[in-house]
Structures are given as C-alpha cells and as structure tokens.
Amino acid sequence: MRRQNYRTRAVILSVLLLVILMAIYLSGIFITEDMILGSFLEAKLPPDFQHFFGTDALGRDLFLRTLKGLSVSITIGLAASFISGIIAVLVGIGVACGSKKTEEAITWVIDLFMGIPHIVLIMLISFALGRGFWGVLIGISFTHWCGLARVIRAEVLQLKSEPYVAISKKLGKSGSWIMVHHMLPHLTGQILVGLILMFPHAVLHEASLSFLGFGLSPEQPAIGIILAESMRYLSTGMWWMAVLPGLLLVILVLLIDKLGHLLRIIWDPYSSQG
C-alpha cells in the first residue's frame, strides 16, 4: 500500500536527517582547537576552496569554527530539551493527577514563567550561575518546559476520561499501574515529538544568549560568539563572517524541525500531513 510507503519514506528521511545531524555533531567534536588555530597571514580571507566560509580576523577557519560551535549548540540544545522535558512531564502529570489546589498552584507557576520574557529570565538565571555553559544550559532548561507541560496535561486529562482507564480503575488497578500501562504508551510519542520540536528553540536561544554575551565565553567556540564578533567587521565588508555561519545555523534548525515533523508523521500519521 502507498500509505506504508509514505511512512517508510518518513522513516528513511528521518534516519537521513539524523545521520546529517550526527555528522555535524561528531565533526564538531573531532575538530580540535589547534585545527582551528589560524595564522595572521590568513586573516580576513573571503570564502574559497581552502576555507569554505573564509577566515576571521585572527585567521581562523570559519567553517571549522562554525561546525565546532554548532556541535556545542547541539549539545546544549539536547541537554536543555531533555531537562525541560523531564520538568514538563513531571509538572504535566502532576497537574493532571493532583488535586484542584495543585493544579491551580502549578498553573500559577506556569503563568509566572510565562510572565517574564524568556530572554530576560535566561539572562537572570545565567547571571545567577555566573554565566558560561551551565548558565545557558540551566537557563534554557528552566524556561522551555511550559508549553510541553500544558500539552501533557491536556493529554492526560483526555486519557483519564477514556473508558478503558475508567474500567481499569473499576477493576482495582492502582493509579501508577494505569499510568505505566495506559498513559505512558500514549504519552511517549507526544513527549518525544514535543522534545524534538523544543530542540530548535533551545538552539536558537543558546545562540541568542551567546550573542548577547550571557552564554558561552568568548574563548569557547559558539555560533553566537562568531556572529557577535562579525558585527565588529560588518562595516569593513567581511560579509561572510555574518552570513555563512548564520546560514548553517538556520539550516541546522530547519533540519531538526523537519525531523520533528517527520517523527510526528511516523508516530501518528493522521495528526499531521505536512
């Protein structure tokens, strides 16, 4: 059947995307500091075959720096989505299964987190942790869980009204048994897709924060840092410093987003058609 084909295609495409993402990630890991280290003789070169993205003011290869930076972005994005996901699951289930009072309290907390612009809150958290890697990571983790928590809450509430859950309850199954056997199987897909769709946001926020100077320190390779540096050389005509690394970042984000949508199709072909 064609339908099977469509899903198979989604599976193949998503595996392909995963391979590309892994390649970016691994290449970033294998690029060592001294590979990036350039010489002043090669400073400010526009893109050519030797340096795909050109070189920066210190003569470092921008392509290698960008890859390295993206791999750091992926690390932070993955970790932050994961932590956010755990918070979201706990909160979402807590709201759905707890008493009315817990629900109100948690809704209030969500409103609190939504009440401060995310960037400002991440800045504050990053400031509290003395900036750097952990600052951004925790900052992003603690600001991205609200949306997914709401989705999970709605889903759990809906599952609770399903007849098979009510029957299980009548049969004397415990709440945790129902949770494991009836709810988690349904939620896993939602959570997974939610996590992957959160991932690009986390990456974008990391880049923005590093750009503003709250994220990774200038010595570390980070896409935000590269782009912040590029601002200084914009007026001298070094366009490649701003355009190319940013373009690669956008492509990365689009790839991850596409992956999320593909996984949603694989999981639940009827919910999404594109």
Partner 1 sequence: MWIDENKMKCKQQKLLEIHNLSLSFQRYGTWLRQESLEVISNLDFTVDKGEVVAVVGASGSGKSLLAAAILGILPPNAIVQGEIYYQGTRLTARLQEQLRGRDFALVPQSTTYLDPLMRVGQQADGHRKPRPTERRKKIFEKLSLPEKTGKLYPFQLSGGMTRRVLVATAMLTEAQLIIADEPTPGMGVEQALEALQMFRQMANEGKSVILITHDIDLAVLFADKVAVIYGGNTVEIASSRDFERGEEGLRHPYTKALWRALPQNGFEPVWGTQPYAGSCMKGCIFAPRCSMRTWECEEKMPPIRELREGEVRCYHAT
Partner 2 sequence: MKMTGRKLIDIFIRNSIKMLSLLLAVSFLSFLLVSLSPIDPVGQYILGLQTAVSPEQRAEIEEYWGVNEPPVERYFHWLTEVLQGELGESVIYRRPVAEIIGERFINSLALMLCAWLISGIFGFILGIVMGRYYDRWPDKILKKICYILSSMPTFWIGLLLLLIFGVWLKWFPIGFSSPIGVLSRDVSLGEKIYHLILPAFTLSLMSFSGIALHTREKLWDVMNSDYVLFARTRGEDEWTILKRHGIRNVILPALTLQFSSFAELFGGSVIAENVFSYPGLGSAVSAAGLQSDLSLLLGITLFSALFVCTGNMIANLLYRIVDPGIREVKE
Q: How far is the CB of 127 from partner 2 (least distance, A)?
A: 5
Q: How far is the CB of 3 from partner 1 (least distance, A)?
A: 4
| Residue whose CB is less far from partner 1, 1 or 171 | 1
Name residues whose C-beta falls within 8 Å of residue 158's C-beta, 6 or more positions apart in sequence.
Answer: none
| Residue whose CB is less far from partner 2, 141 or 230 | 230
Binders of partner 1 among residues 233 to 272 (CB under 8 A) are: 269
Residue 213 burial by Cβ neighbours in a 10 Å radius (0-12, 13-18, 19+): middle
6 touching partner 1, by CB under 8 A: yes
- Side chain identity at residue 82, one-letter code: F
Token output for 83: 């932590």
Q: From the list partner 1, partner 2, none, which binds 127 (C-beta under 5 to 8 Å, kind-based)?
A: partner 2
- In 3-state terms the chain splits into helix, strand, coil percentages (rounded to 5) of 80, 0, 20
Strand-pairing partners, residue 60, are: none
According to CB under 8 A, which one of 161, 176, 235, 273 is a site residue for partner 1?
A: 273
Q: How far is the CB of 176 from partner 2 (least distance, A)?
A: 32
| Residue whose CB is less far from partner 1, 7 or 150 | 7
Q: Which residues bind partner 2 (CB under 8 A)?
A: 108, 111-112, 114-120, 123-131, 200, 204, 207-208, 211-214, 224, 227, 230-231, 234-235, 237, 239, 242-243, 246, 249-250, 253-254, 257
What span, in angstroms and rounded, lies between the C-alpha atoms of 60 and 240? 13
What span, in angstroms and rounded, lies between the C-alpha atoms of 112 and 105? 11
- Other CB atoms within a 10 A radius of the CB of residue 173 amount to 16
- Other CB atoms within a 10 A radius of the CB of residue 217 amount to 13
1 touching partner 1, by CB under 8 A: yes
Residue 224 burial by Cβ neighbours in a 10 Å radius (0-12, 13-18, 19+): buried
User: Are 245 and 56 contacting, i.e. CB atoms less than 8 angstroms apart?
Assistant: no
7 touching partner 1, by CB under 8 A: yes
Q: How far is the CB of 79 from partner 2 (least distance, A)?
A: 19
Q: How far is the CB of 224 from partner 2 (least distance, A)?
A: 8
Q: Where are the alpha helices (DSSP H) in 213-238?
A: 223-233
Q: From the list partner 1, partner 2, none, which binds 128 (C-beta under 5 to 8 Å, kind-based)?
A: partner 2
Q: From the list partner 1, partner 2, none, which binds 86 (C-beta under 5 to 8 Å, kind-based)?
A: none
12 touching partner 1, by CB under 8 A: no
Q: How far is the CB of 14 from partner 1 (least distance, A)?
A: 16
**Among 5-13, 74-82, 115-123, 231-239, the segment contacting partner 1 (CB under 8 A):** 5-13
Torsion of CA 49, 52, 57, 58, to 10 degrees: -80
Half-sphere exposure of 72 (CA within 13 A, CB side): 28
Q: Which residues contribute to the site for partner 1 (CB under 8 A)?
A: 1-3, 5-7, 269, 273
